Chain A
Amino acid sequence: MNARAGAHPRARRRSLIVAALLLLALAALIGVAVGGVTLSWADLFAGRGEPATTARLLASLRLPRVALAALVGACLAVAGAALQALLKNPLADPFLLGTSGGAATGAALAALAGASPLVSPGAAFAGAVASSVAVAALARRGGRLDLQRLLLAGLIANAFFSAVLLAVFSVASVEAERNMLFWMMGSLSGSSWTRAAALVPYAAVGGTFLLLFAARLNLFVVGEENAAALGVDTERAKVQVFLAASLLTGAAVAFAGVIGFVGLLVPHAARAVAGNDQRVLLPVSGLAGAALLVMADAASRAAFAPAELPIGAITAAVGAPLFAWLLMRTP
């Protein structure tokens, strides 16, 4: 490696993004094929006959599910990557910091009040912001966010939101158990093109904003004072990035419930491959997060078919050991 290595960041960025796109395409193929009934590629691409019709029918159910999984995974991974850079903290993640719990509570309360599913991202966003504000306030000490306090505050928030969700559904709904499982462990079983399409604008707004902010996030990676000394209005930047990350988290949770560890796991894996330039890391994390969740969803359908595992159980089974490993490595 010499001083010129990486002298062409734009070319490098392009090839990494293409590689991540290929990964996502592969995951999507697996996601469409795998499930209660496993389809062969020949079934999927055959044009005629009865097996082909069955295959197409299944694919039309699975395709929107794959699309929704991809969007949700991308939202969570980009939010996690941005939070890690902003807070200069490799353990930041929308789930661990309680943002997802807040979003779930917001969306569940809205659903309970009979609001249309199309406004539930708004309610989830409000819950996510409320949770972020509370957690940040708890974690602030002497004018800065303290790592230990941040994780403890996230723990407190998660315990509180679990209690609220349990209470709300125990008293209010006939479908209580199914709903609770959806909000607390995540599920993509209710996927449809309408739901996938409804998530798009939220993902687009939050994701585009963070991508445009990526060069500034690079300065936060060295520290908040560093960003300020290099000309960033840090107070405003923190609010903007928190809001964008909350928007992405809120939207993901509103359509798929709480799915943990994606925002932690994916940016770390992506950083190991693509480096820590946020202009590369954010898009690569988004695509890799999409691929991961599509595959996790396929696994949740295939593992104990015809029964379906909650997808959050899969991501937690992979994510929790990784979190433990990271915690041991963090000074």
Chain B
Amino acid sequence: MKPILETRGLAAAYGATRALDGLDLTIPAGRIVALLGENGSGKSTLLKVIARIVEPAAGAVLFDGRPLAQLPRRETARRIAYVPQSVDLVFPIRSLDLVLQGRAPHARGFAADSPEDYRRALEAMRACDVEALAPRDASALSGGERRRVFLARALAQEAEIWLLDEPTSGLDPRHRLEFLATLARVHRERGTTVLFVTHEIDLAADLADAVILLRSGRALAQGAPPQALTPDTLRRAFSVEAVVEVDSAGRRHFVPVAPAD
């Protein structure tokens, strides 16, 4: 399968702290890929490097076989959408205006307010079931609502790749399921490549076509969930002993039972 994203010896650092350390990865086009690893293993940093928020210290990200760094930044933003884990909104902002920002990379001088921009923003909000929230202040929305507003923004951005940082963290069971259903539906309809960070091993096994396990800024395992997620790889990635249980629907559940030595 043709990879849409590859990393070659990718390294990134915050001051003296190494976040990525010679990372080699392949992300297939049109698939959902889960990024797993313990805190500080470099998952969020990898998303930020691909979104060009963080500059790599060494190595390269290849997009469609070309170095991403050679692509103009706006062009990158038209093709890769980044959905942060959380945003601290200091100033009030209308949800619709937040979604309209997704049109900024497409607009002259970043001024996204043509009738076409409005149409696409509202269409994206409809697809994510947040059209009714359009006039409301995004800083006053619940976590689940805000997550879906940001997903609508990624949709309005019309990017081929979505980078989602812990999209389900902090959501109650119902909002989590609703968010995942929306994500699965828009992925199916648009054929978008999705790379998401999560701490939910079960979710990765259930939702993702491929899984990448990170440890200390390097790839420990990558591949289809049954091959990449085993008691052995989980021990090495998370330093825990885990058992795998299969339920009546054939879904695999990972139960960490004890810290590994």
Contacts and interface: CB of A to CB of B under 8 A. Distances in A.
B15 interface: yes
Interface residues of A, number: 34
B27 interface: no
Interface string B110-144: 11110100100010010000010011000000000
B73 A222 contact: no
Contacts of B94: 6
Contact of B110 (A90, A228, A232, A271): A232
B18 to A, nearest CB: 15
B145 to A, nearest CB: 15
A90 B89 CA distance: 12
Contacts of A90: 90-91
A277 interface: yes
Contacts, number: 93
A275 to B, nearest CB: 9
A191 to B, nearest CB: 36
Interface stretch (B62-70, B101-109, B182-190, B225-233): B101-109
A142 B15 contact: yes
Interface string A229-254: 11111000000000000000000000
12 contacts: A5-B135, A88-B90, A215-B104, A218-B97, A223-B88, A228-B52, A228-B73, A229-B82, A231-B74, A231-B77, A233-B73, A276-B92
User: 5 nearest interchain CB pairs?
Assistant: A231-B77, A3-B134, A231-B74, A215-B111, A229-B82
Given A9-B113, A229-B53, 11 more contacts: A5-B135, A6-B96, A143-B14, A215-B110, A218-B97, A222-B93, A226-B84, A228-B53, A229-B52, A231-B77, A231-B104
Interface of B: 14-15, 48, 51-53, 72-78, 81-82, 84, 87-94, 96-98, 101-102, 104-105, 107, 109-113, 115, 118, 122, 125, 131, 134-135, 157
